[in-house]
Amino acid sequence: MYQTLILLHGWCRWLVLLSLVYTTITSIKGYRARSSYSSRDNLARHGTATVMHVQLTLGMLLYFASPFVSSYWNSNDMSTLPETEFFAVIHSTMMFIAVILATYGSSAAKRKTQDSDKFKTVAFFYSLALLIILLAIPWSFAPWAQRPLLRTF
């Protein structure tokens, strides 16, 4: 189960990144052009939030199944590996914050009445979430924890 969760979580990361980038860019363009907020824009906002919630669910399942997290919380030795601490504390906390920001932004934008306010709200909160996610992903070149860009079985 752990390997399947890792695989799904790793692949879903790309859906999250692509949808966040797309929705953020279209929101910035819509705001600058003073466009009307279309059903396509609304679908992108909602779809991005949904993909992020699916990823969060996978991440939480993975968190409780992870040997890294388990060894971190069960260890009495405070000199744990940086990679273990990264997954147990930093990655999970930053990703949770990113999902909260995107969820709040999505919900706030839905309640706005002016189209420019909808675009501005989505652009602001989704770009913050995107920045946090980009910092918290264990990229293959990251100094704290490395993971492959694409996982296979």
Give the chain's radius of gyration (CA, Å). 17
C-alpha to C-alpha distance for 107 and 14, rounded to whole angstroms: 23
Task: Establish if 141 belongs to a structural domain.
Answer: no
Q: What is the pTM of this model?
A: 0.88
CB burial of residue 34 (10 Å; 0-12, 13-18, 19+) = exposed
In a domain, 48, yes or no: yes
**pLDDT single digits (tens) 7-46:** 899 899 999 999 999 999 999 999 999 999 999 999 999 9
Give domain status of residue 147, yes or no. no
Total domains in the fold of the chain: 1
Whole-number mean pLDDT of the chain?
90
pLDDT at 35: 96
Q: Do the domain assignments include residue 22?
A: yes
Residue 149 lies in a domain: no
Residues 6+ apart with CB under 8 A from 49: 102, 103, 106
Structural domain containing residue 69: 2-75+84-136
Please indicate, yes or no, if residue 97 is contained in any of the structural domains: yes
Any domain includes 131: yes
The DSSP H or E segment spanning 3 is helix 2-33
pLDDT band at 2 (very low <50, low <70, confident <90, very high): confident
- Three-state secondary structure string covering 12-53: HHHHHHHHHHHHHHHHHHHHHHCCCCCHHHHHHHHHHHHHHH
> Within a domain: residue 68?
yes
